[in-house]
Structure 1
Amino acid sequence: MRSTLRGECVAYIKAMSKPTVHQLLREAKAQRRVLVQPRCGVGSHTRMTQLLQQLERDAQPDILTLTIDSYTRLLHFDVVTAMLAQTPDALNGYPLVSHGWQRGRELNDAVRAPLQIRHGSPDARQLFECSLMAGITAFEGGGISYNVPYSKDVPLATSLSHWQEIDRTCGELADQEQIYVDRELFGTLTAVLIPPAISLSVTLLEAILAAREGVKCISIAYPQGGNLVQDVAALRAIPRLMAQHLPADVEVFTVFHEWMGPFPRARATADALIFYGALTARLGGANKVVNKSYMEAFGIPSAEANVSGVHTTRAATSKIFDFVELPEAEVADEMAHILEEVNELIAPVVDSADPMSATLTAFARGWLDIPFSPSCHVRSAVLPMRDPGGSIRVFEFGNLCLSEASKKRHQAQLGRFTSEMDFDHLRKIQEDIFHFCRTIEQPALPELSSLAMQALEPSR
């Protein structure tokens, strides 16, 4: 960013009359309150403005989102320009770079809530600069979590280097200007049966790399897996892991994504699932929850459905439900195992003098791995599966850097059915992916395509 632009950008951010995401997260953490944030993003600037204002008027979320379109994520700005001229409604998000930072400021000034950028780009440097110029100081993503779940052939070394530049700018702003960009790390990954230890290992490594560049505000996002005990244990593990591995002057916040998998089609059951996710966030001590809507099964939700999702989430995160009791001994046991597994997985990296290089080596050798990833730069040899209680375990370990004790524990938790002669692991994984559709609505599962069968094959 040129010095003249940077000075103007800093002045604009400091003159803003509303709190930043960092300030809201700090207040929420102190008050044991859960912030609520909906997703939203459309191509037209006028419609985006109206959508943000409608959500604020009717739902009053704590934080609002600019979800960026997929062409911007891939730096295909020429395609965006053509679509804005002809079919802006066909874009699946807001093309901030193409609209320009001046229009980004118009969006920022149109609502009281602070904005966050959500996107999915392995190279978000231009988007980040445009976001800062628009006065937006909350930016999601990382060199691992915004690469391997989305991209087929972007080397991890490339994406980690791009995100290192972003984090370095955040560090400079914190050190020189006392502007704290909330860097949210996307532990959801592929959103398909992600074992907690893998999710937390990836975000922890991204957090370590960000902190080395001077980032002072880090949010760790974890996706709802579906078992209450396991999800609460994972959320409670986040502060402990970050305190163990990050400098004391880095503020850490916990974010929970409501169910990211296939959604029930019926309104009542979809609302029930949203409520369940929000209650999980509350019980797990999350500082923020990113909500879903009852229209998830049908595509991009309407503004009205999004408003409803915020209200349902807000109800479930109320202190009125503090009477709900958990089997705390089970939660503590699950959390102890998650902490142990994360430390096993990240050991080759944190013990290295060069954590970025060690991260690349760990993925190349399969010591770290992401299930169901499209990327050719990870092995994707890990095959997860639900145990009889619905918790996500590891069925095929690949080369994961887990101890024999941890592996045996996963095998024991999955039970004897996985070793039966006629066990159909492909069918089981499909049922596990459609977990909430299957357990709530009992639909007929679609037949697996040959491509899906190939993708699920553990020997891939």
Structure 2
Amino acid sequence: MTTATELPSLHESVAYVRQSGKPTAAEVLREARTAGRLALQPRCGVGSHPQMSTLLRDIEQHAAPDVLSVTIDAHTRLGRFDHARSVLDRNPADLNGYPLVTHGWRRGRELNEAVRAPLEIRHGSPDARVLFRTAVAAGITSFEGGGISYNLPYSKDVPLRRSLAAWREVDAACGELAELGLVVDRELFGTLTAVLMPPSVSLAVSVLEAVAAAREGVRCISVAYPQGGHAEQDVAALRAIPLLAARHLPAGVEVHPVLHEFMGVYPRERAHAEDLILYGALVARYGGATKLITKTYQEAYGIPDTRAIIDGLHLAARANSPLLAGWRLDEARIAEELEWILAEVDALVTPVLDSGLGLYDAIAAAFADGTLDIPFSASRHARSAVIPGRAEDGAIRILSAGALPLPRALRDRNTDALRTRPTDLYEALTKDIDHFPRLFGE
């Protein structure tokens, strides 16, 4: 296990990044946005160091993504570094990601130097302090997660106050790095539990994490949103992100909308899966996303191989084609969705921000009483009383709001859209989750 005393100082890590001459993730995102081009990033991560290096090199050589991922294994995510070491020594293939802390920051630098694209750490840690310091020492300039989004979807019994305090230290370190001249891209995992996520719930959590990060000095924030499957609703949600940033974040904080391609049940037929991949890429482009996290045609079968990752990147890149500039959506419908999304987010975050409590205490208290909530949470620290549903047109609505402080007009709009659903809740949710395979007749 890497300890704090074995790590280079933040000053030394900044010097390493500067000397490398490699662009940071924040610089790459800014360049893509300025050029009006959708930046692409795959998911990838294996336990073996040589195999991880080869995987990154192969993806870059054959698909040239803008940002590359180092997905972290489950033991490291939970701080079980000794377990990660045991599995790594026995059989690295048994790990579901790369154990960076166990491999150490020097090997992390080897990964960083193996490719031209900046790396991002993707994980799921309620307490990412050791992992973050190791990543910074490795020269990695993008780090995903937050005290809500990397706790409630993943962990059963980590109190929010504990995860928020740990992530406050991560954000404070990012603020210190920014003062030293290194801006780390902090990507917020608005995807949450990924399945049937109402846009306002995703965005409300991201707003609160973004406010917390900005207060600690974070200068670059990527707000990731999960594709729900309804084009106008998803485009509206992406367009809401800069508006919410202008409303809640201080000047000088750079904000990038990010779309996660659909994270629910994928079609099994390759052609159908590729239709969905291109559809998501177009939604990202027309929603004004800076970056797209891509998927593959093998999603229905498990972890994709390298060829599928490369093919998925090539397909998603087609969204940047000038030939698709004429693709049009219903702008009136987008404007209507945007108005309602902003109203719902405001109803959720304003009581927290205006509570008179400290932000972290207010967030924990809101989840305790259900005025903040997420569906299908693994954690006992969220009520999971919010029940989503998919309307006939494919948009995701809120069937049951639980204790969310949504005004009557917002509640009625959601329930009215879901009146034609099956009365059996299990049947209805199964149908909603299987939306795309059913759409393709699979």
Identity fraction in percent: 55
Does 1:85 pair with 2:68?
no
SS in 2 for 1:395: strand
The match for 1:302 among 305, 328, 338 is 305
The match for 1:171 among 150, 170, 175 is 175
- TM-score, normalized by length of structure 1? 0.93
In structure 1, runs of 5+ residues without a counterpart are: 443-460
The match for 2:212 among 197, 202, 209 is 209
SS in 2 for 1:221: strand
The equivalent of 1:50 in structure 2 is 54
The equivalent of 1:367 in structure 2 is 371
CA distance in 1, matches of 2:116, 2:8: 27
The equivalent of 1:388 in structure 2 is 392
CA distance in 2, matches of 1:363, 1:247: 25
- Could you tell me which amino acid in structure 1 is paired with residue 218 of structure 2? V
Structure 1 pair 228–4 and aligned structure 2 pair: CA distance change class (3 A): closer
Does 1:194 pair with 2:197?
yes
CA distance in 2, matches of 1:226, 1:198: 16
Does 1:270 pair with 2:273?
yes
CA distance in 1, matches of 2:316, 2:130: 33
- Could you tell me which amino acid in structure 2 is paired with residue 436 of structure 1? F
The match for 2:133 among 115, 119, 129 is 129
Contact in 1 for aligned 2:14/2:181 (Cα 8 Å)? no
Task: Show the 5 A alignment for 1:58-457.
Answer: 58-175=62-179, 177-353=180-356, 354-415=358-419, 417-418=420-421, 423-442=423-442
Contact in 1 for aligned 2:8/2:137 (Cα 8 Å)? no
CA distance in 1, matches of 2:98, 2:304: 15
CA distance in 1, matches of 2:45, 2:348: 36
- Could you tell me which amino acid in structure 1 is paired with residue 138 of structure 2? A
SS in 1 for 2:399: strand
Deviates most, 30-39 or 350-359:
350-359
- Could you tell me which amino acid in structure 2 is paired with residue 429 of structure 1? L
- Could you tell me which amino acid in structure 1 is paired with residue 322 of structure 2? K
Structure 1 pair 305–409 and aligned structure 2 pair: CA distance change class (3 A): same
Contact in 2 for aligned 1:264/1:441 (Cα 8 Å)? no
Offset at residue 412 of structure 1 (A): 1.5
SS in 1 for 2:266: coil
Offset at residue 257 of structure 1 (A): 0.3
Task: Show the 5 A alignment for 1:19-58.
Answer: 19-58=23-62
SS in 1 for 2:325: helix
- TM-score, normalized by length of structure 2? 0.97
CA distance in 2, matches of 1:185, 1:251: 13
Offset at residue 5 of structure 1 (A): 2.4
Offset at residue 427 of structure 1 (A): 0.4
CA distance in 2, matches of 1:296, 1:246: 36
Q: Deviation string for 1:275-314 (max 9, x for gaps)?
A: 1111110111100000001111111110000000000000
Q: Deviation string for 1:307-366 (max 9, x for gaps)?
A: 000000001233321101111011000000000000000111121342211111111110
CA distance in 2, matches of 1:387, 1:297: 24
CA distance in 1, matches of 2:54, 2:354: 50
- Could you tell me which amino acid in structure 2 is paired with residue 237 of structure 1? A
Deviates most, 381-390 or 80-89:
80-89
Contact in 1 for aligned 2:147/2:165 (Cα 8 Å)? yes
Q: Deviation string for 1:19-77 (max 9, x for gaps)?
A: 11100111111121110000110000000000000000111111100000011101111
CA distance in 2, matches of 1:26, 1:409: 37
CA distance in 2, matches of 1:299, 1:239: 34
Instruction: Note the aligned Cα RMSD (angstroms).
Output: 1.2
Structure 1 consecutive aligned stretches of length 4 or more whose deviation exceeds 6 Å? none
CA distance in 1, matches of 2:163, 2:143: 16
Offset at residue 85 of structure 1 (A): 1.3
Offset at residue 426 of structure 1 (A): 1.5
SS in 2 for 1:256: strand
Contact in 1 for aligned 2:228/2:396 (Cα 8 Å)? yes
Contact in 2 for aligned 1:125/1:165 (Cα 8 Å)? yes
SS in 2 for 1:407: helix
Structure 1 pair 4–388 and aligned structure 2 pair: CA distance change class (3 A): closer
Q: Deviation string for 1:169-197 (max 9, x for gaps)?
A: 0011112x121010000000000100000
CA distance in 2, matches of 1:413, 1:125: 43
Contact in 1 for aligned 2:277/2:312 (Cα 8 Å)? yes
- Could you tell me which amino acid in structure 1 is paired with residue 409 of structure 2? A
CA distance in 1, matches of 2:170, 2:117: 24
Offset at residue 83 of structure 1 (A): 1.3
In structure 2, runs of 5+ residues without a counterpart are: none
Contact in 1 for aligned 2:146/2:209 (Cα 8 Å)? yes
Offset at residue 222 of structure 1 (A): 0.2
SS in 1 for 2:9: helix
Contact in 2 for aligned 1:281/1:317 (Cα 8 Å)? no
Contact in 1 for aligned 2:375/2:386 (Cα 8 Å)? yes
- Could you tell me which amino acid in structure 1 is paired with residue 214 of structure 2? A
CA distance in 1, matches of 2:124, 2:34: 30
- Could you tell me which amino acid in structure 2 is paired with residue 103 of structure 1? R
Contact in 2 for aligned 1:140/1:183 (Cα 8 Å)? yes
